Structure 1
Amino acid sequence: MPGGRLTQQDRQRIADGLVKGLTYTEIAGLLDRPISTVTREVARNGGPGGYRAGQAQRATQSRARRGRPAPPSPHVEDEAEPGRDAAAVRDVEERFTGVVAATGLSRMTARVLTCLYLTDSGSLTAAELVRRLRVSPASVSKAVGELEQQHLIRRERDPRRRRDRYVIDADVWFRGWTASAGQNLVLADLAREAARVLGVTTPAGMRLQDIGDFFRHVSQAMIEAAEQWSRDYAARKRRDS
């Protein structure tokens, strides 16, 4: 029943929904459950790409036999900020991490990005990330390397502490978006070159020409949208100052 423990049938419906590409909201609606129930269930049992109903059921039964709750999910803050609901913050963190991981980032990288998003300062050192996420320095180092490579965070030197700080802000997303547009342009040019090599009148050549045209169109639209946002954002900041 709604609000009770998930059954084997519930878990199978979650697994089927994930395979069909349904959102957490849609799956929760099918089960008549809160969205947080579905996101927590998926997050603690392999994530969107690794969730299996049978494994999740056996893991839950094993935890019940041991007589202790599932290990708590490491969360962004050791304690909620004053005025914030700690449970609600953890729920948002789990859901945010799941959505970010679904874009193709590894789970650890998604957790680091979520941590920066949900931290008021939007800026943390590697040591602070290790402490907040309760993971190894090597895990954080690998994650921030991936995020830097995709221009999703930037690095600043903290002169007072002589340590690097990892920062996320509006400019970071602008740079990440334009970098992605640039990668699409590279792919577009390569596809067009391949079409010429294979012959633009051959089936493979025509297919590659279409791919090149598509990615060039998309990248140009992305760049125009980013530039328009940058102008609007700057204007809004001037009005607010």
Structure 2
Amino acid sequence: MPGGRLMYEERERIAAGLAAGRSYAEIARSLGRPRSTVSREVTRNGGASHYRANVAQQATDWRARRKPGLHRPAPPASDTRGRDPEAVRDFEERFAGMMVQTGVPLMVAKVLASLFTADTGTYTAAELVALLQVSPASISKAVGWLSARDLVRRERDGRRERYVIDDNIWYRTWQASIQSMAMWRDFAQEGAELLSGNSPSGARLHTTSQFFRLLGHDMAESAEHWRRTLR
């Protein structure tokens, strides 16, 4: 109903309207909603080019779970740096939503967004459970995904384990990607030689090997440029 929370079916109709090139006003009229409701919904969930009904619904459900309740006290009016906690929280939600749109699993995106926006860049498992109001198993699985990709590191804090994100995160991840490119290059070249470069399959694999060779070279140069320029 107008003024109430958007339903999933309405989000699907918004996504369909955007895909058809309809304006916010047209979509709003078809839903019987104010234009501002549609505009805010789309802006908050990736913009017109990236809006997805299922992602928007997941983000809304997450926001609902994160509202202050029995297990999470209401945030102060501002933090020690004068920032608006609600604005920070809204950014975290939209940041995680953007990551989901790029292929990052939802819970992983939530954990990563939380670590990025923490001044310390670190949380324990218990702190993440309380912050995101999810199960310890969900946090463990998300951290495992991040650790396997070298996006977070683990540190001992007495009997507890802390998950840490730092300024070298993208350099380490980029280096891991370079290693992956090298593996693709070598295996594709092996296949090209096995199948013969004169055959369609051999030529296809040779082209693949060349692509990853050049890509890996460019990535290595970019990493070195970052190290010299920003470190």
TM-score, with length taken from structure 2:
0.73
Q: CA separation in 1, counterparts of 2:166 and 2:24?
A: 32
Within 2, Cα distance between the matches of 1:118 and 1:173? 16
Q: Tell me the residue number matched to 1:38.
A: 42
Query: Which consecutive residues of structure 2, in runs of 5 or more, have no partner in the other structure?
Result: 28-34
Using the alignment, how far apart are the partners of 2:180 and 2:62 within structure 1?
42
Alignment pair present for 1:97 and 2:96: yes
- Residue 89 of structure 1 and its aligned partner are, at CA, apart by 1.7
Give the whole-Å Cα distance in 2 for the aligned partners of 1:88 and 1:37.
16
SS in structure 2 of the partner of residue 72 of structure 1 = helix
Partner of 1:14: 15
The alignment partner of 2:221 has SS state of: helix
Instruction: Name the CA distance, whole Å, in 2 between partners of 1:5 and 1:129.
Output: 28
* Aligned residues of 2:189 and 2:206 also touching (Cα < 8 A): yes
Q: Does 1:126 align with 2:93?
A: no
2:41 partner letter: T
Counterpart Cα distance in 1 of 2:44 and 2:101? 15
Alpha-carbon distance between aligned partners in 2 of 1:181 and 1:224, rounded to the nearest angstrom:
10
Secondary structure of 1:232's partner? helix
1:171 aligns with 2:172: no
Match of 1:72 among 64, 76, 84: 64
Q: Is the Cα contact below 8 Å between 2:121 and 2:165 reproduced in 1? A: yes
Q: Give percent identity, aligned residues only.
A: 41
CA contact (8 A) 2:55 2:97 kept: no
Q: 2:219 aligns with which of 203, 213, 222?
A: 222
Map Cα deviations across residues 143-167 of structure 1 (whole Å, 9 max, x no partner).
0000010111111122xx3222111
Alpha-carbon shift at residue 91 of structure 1 (Å): 2.1
Equivalent position of 1:154 in the other structure? 153
Matches within 5 A, 1:187-202: 187-202=184-199
Displacement of 1:14 = 2.2
Q: Which amino acid aligns with 1:12?
A: R
Q: Which runs of 5+ in 1 are unaligned?
A: 57-68, 235-241
- 1:74 deviates by 2.4
Shift of 1:97: 0.4
Q: Secondary structure at the match of 1:169?
A: coil
Matches within 5 A, 1:138-149: 138-149=137-148
Tell me by how many angstroms 1:51 deviates. Answer: 5.4
Q: For the residues of structure 1 that align with 2:163 and 2:39, how far apart are their CA atoms? A: 31
Distance 1:35 1:179, change over 3 A: farther
Q: Counterpart of 2:119 in 1: which secondary structure?
A: coil
Q: 1:90 to 1:177 in 2, by over 3 A?
A: same
Q: Is the 8 A contact 1:199 1:205 kept in 2?
A: yes
Q: CA RMSD in A?
A: 3.5
Separation (CA, whole Å) in 1 of partners of 2:108 and 2:172:
18
The residue aligned with 1:239 is: none
Give, in whole Å, the separation in 1 of the partners of 2:172 and 2:119. Answer: 21
Tell me if the contact between 1:28 and 1:38 (Cα under 8 Å) persists in the aligned partners: no
Q: Take 2:136 and 2:63, find their aligned partners in 1: how far apart are those partners?
A: 21
* Cα distance in 1, alignment partners of residues 135 and 83 from structure 2: 28
